[in-house]
Structure 1
Amino acid sequence: MGLRRKSRELALQFFYGHDIQERPSAEDILHKELEEFRSSFKSDQKAHPYAEQLIKGICARQQAIDNALADCSHHWRVERMALVDRNILRIAAYEMLYIEDVPATVAINEALEIAKRYAEPESISFINGILDNLQGKKAG
């Protein structure tokens, strides 16, 4: 497994706990939460910088990301999506919209691989459809 995949999975784990505990994304609280997260997850330390880049970026732009996802998902409000699906989508959307060195196809493929591991089987096509739509809107 590549280093960025590990980073994406760490970010997903962070957001899962963050959402379950209904924590706010204010910068001072986020800093403390990231410190706790670093000490709790002793995974490959090389994966932490990109995971933290994803976490901070998503928190800073969450409303814009959620709006983009809502525009691409028919009949689904972001807040009603399954917790894991929503956060996989946010990570991929952030990469597609804000990280220049990650091609959209890579972000989508990574999201689908992570979904195979963490989401329900039927979530894979749901995630793929929304991200394909986002890719089309970004290209258009």
Structure 2
Amino acid sequence: MRRRTRSREIALQFLYMHDLRDDAGEQLAAFLADETKDRQVRDFSMRLIEGVKTHREEIDALLKRVAKNWEIHRMATIDRNVLRMAIFEILYCDDIPANVSINEAIELGKRFSTQNSGAFINGILDRVSKDSNGTRAGSAAPTRS
């Protein structure tokens, strides 16, 4: 499995846990240490987790705007967090092409959520991509070297 794919899986697991339990943030370092010994995987997972946490209000506002007829709290928890991660990547990670973020999010949804999640995630992220119109907010974290 590719490192960034594994990083996204780890970040999704943590964001899911954090969504269900507010105190999960205190356990981030231990969680990452338990999940992987690969520093690149750990660093990218941390970048995603911290980015989503830092920009959550903005991400959720955009999600609310593009997710017609859906309230964020009514979305499946996995889908909601897959979308948050992908939106963070689309808006803030200029080293990752938007289509890569979208494809990875679709695969995460298919793997960890419902059979309809891939299509749901694709539809939402397609609107996000069009809404952002190719502009990015800037890199929230330094790119890896």
Query: Is this a same-fold pair by TM over 0.5?
Result: yes
Map 1:17-32; keep pairs closer than 5 Å.
Answer: 17-21=17-21, 23=22, 30=25, 32=26
**Structure 1 position 36, deviation (Å):** 2.4
Q: Which moved more, 1:38-47 or 1:50-59?
A: 38-47
Map 1:52-63; keep pairs closer than 5 Å.
Answer: 52-63=46-57
Count of residues paired in the alignment: 134
Match of 1:110 among 72, 89, 104: 104
Equivalent residue, structure 1, for 2:63: 69
Match of 1:51 among 45, 69, 74: 45
Runs of 4+ in 1 over 2 A off after TM superposition: 42-46
**Structure 1 position 16, deviation (Å):** 1.2
SS in 2 for 1:100: coil
Note the alpha carbon deviations across 1:22-78, whole angstroms, 9 max, x for none. x16xxxx73x32122123324644311000011011101100000111111101111
- What is the RMSD of the two structures over their aligned residues, measured on CA atoms? 1.6
Equivalent residue, structure 2, for 1:39: 33
Match of 1:139 among 110, 125, 133: 133
Amino acid at match of 2:18: H
Task: Work out the percentage of aligned pairs sharing the same amino acid.
Answer: 40
Match of 1:100 among 90, 94, 101: 94
Distance in 1 (CA, whole Å) between partners of 2:71 and 2:37 is: 33
**Structure 1 position 97, deviation (Å):** 0.5
Unaligned runs of 5+ residues in structure 1 are: none
**TM-score normalised to the size of structure 2?**
0.86
**TM-score normalised to the size of structure 1?**
0.89
Distance in 2 (CA, whole Å) between partners of 1:123 and 1:113 is: 9
Amino acid at match of 2:31: F
Q: Which moved more, 1:35-44 or 1:114-123?
A: 35-44
Unaligned runs of 5+ residues in structure 2 are: 135-145
SS in 1 for 2:6: helix
Distance in 1 (CA, whole Å) between partners of 2:73 and 2:86 is: 17
Note the alpha carbon deviations across 1:66-101, whole angstroms, 9 max, x for none. 011111110111121100000000010000001001
